[in-house]
Amino acid sequence: MTFVDDCRERSKAVWNAYRHHPWIEALADGTLRPEQFVFFQTDDGAHVAEFNRTIALGIAKAPVGHPWAKAAANVLANMSTVDELGEKQSLIEDLGFPAVMGHDRWSTSPAREGYVNHLVRTGLEGTFPHIAASLYPCSLFTEVIGSRFRGVRIPGPEPYRRWADMYTRRTRTEMCAAHAAVMEDAADAGGRAGRESLFRLYKRSLEHQVRVFDAAWALDGMWPGGGRTRAAEAIGLRPRPAPTGPGAR
């Protein structure tokens, strides 16, 4: 068993919660509502920007000429933040929603900001292999979405198909494989403590990934006090009424 296989086995419950999340299963069976799709895409804006920022930090920390750095540079060159946000904006426009894609963390859901902060903190504080381990679960969209829906007719609006196809691109699959290769090499060289630190970062990213799908599934786009996220605004989600009665604050 490889180290990456061992990580997947040890985190089987959260891996399955990610791979078979109700949001993804609804995409597969034709019951995903456009509002749930648009929420996820709009809430993903800051993640796109900060994922790429973390990749750039990884390039700075990687050994000169390392294959991971080449794959990462290809991601930044061929799928820039602006280009990917433009693709997502096109998806939501074609579904009849306002084009509100942005990339600042102040307008994300609580779940998404948690994921973004985890990645950037790892990028700033962690080693090059730590960065690869933390980014790997997001890159597994190539498996969870790309491979699963390759050549499959997705019921529902045409933008659903276009989005799934984004995760079949060679640049993405090469980046995913590069993350796994770095994790394997670091696990071989890092001893028990080193392997455990890689596993913790990998698992925490998986956990965050499930949380952001939870938010999109439940349309959970509010902050305490009624602050709306960009995703909530995109789908016209209104703040919940303030609680009243003896227990209200």
- For position 208, what pLDDT does the model report? 98
Task: Read off the pTM.
Answer: 0.92
> pLDDT-derived band of residue 239, with 50, 70 and 90 as boundaries?
low
pLDDT of residue 154: 95
Q: Is the pLDDT score of 247 beyond 60?
A: no
Amino acid letter at 34? P
pLDDT at 246 over 70: no
| Fold of the 3-234 domain | Heme Oxygenase; Chain A (1.20.910)
Q: Which tops the pLDDT comparison, 78 or 144?
A: 144
Residue pLDDT, tens place only, 173-214: 999 999 999 999 999 998 999 999 999 999 999 999 999 999
Nearest Cα neighbor of 11 from 177, 188, 206, 182 is 206
φ and ψ of 106, to 5 deg = -70, -15
Helix, strand, or coil here: 151? coil
pLDDT > 80? residue 150: yes
- Give the pLDDT confidence score for residue 98 in this predicted structure: 82
Does residue 99 carry a pLDDT above 80? no
The ranges assigned to domains in the chain are 3-234
Considering only CA atoms, which of 48, 35, 49, 157 is closest in space to residue 98? 35
pLDDT on residue 245? 52
pLDDT digits (tens, 9 = 90+) for 220-231: 988 998 777 889
Closest by alpha carbon to 240, among 249, 248, 227?
A: 227
Mean pLDDT of the chain: 92
Reduce the DSSP state of residue 104 to 3 states and report it.
coil
Cα(126)–Cα(80) distance, integer angstroms? 23
Specify whether the backbone of 240 is left (phi greater than 0), alpha (psi in -120 to 50) or beta: beta
Question: Residue 229: what pLDDT?
Answer: 87
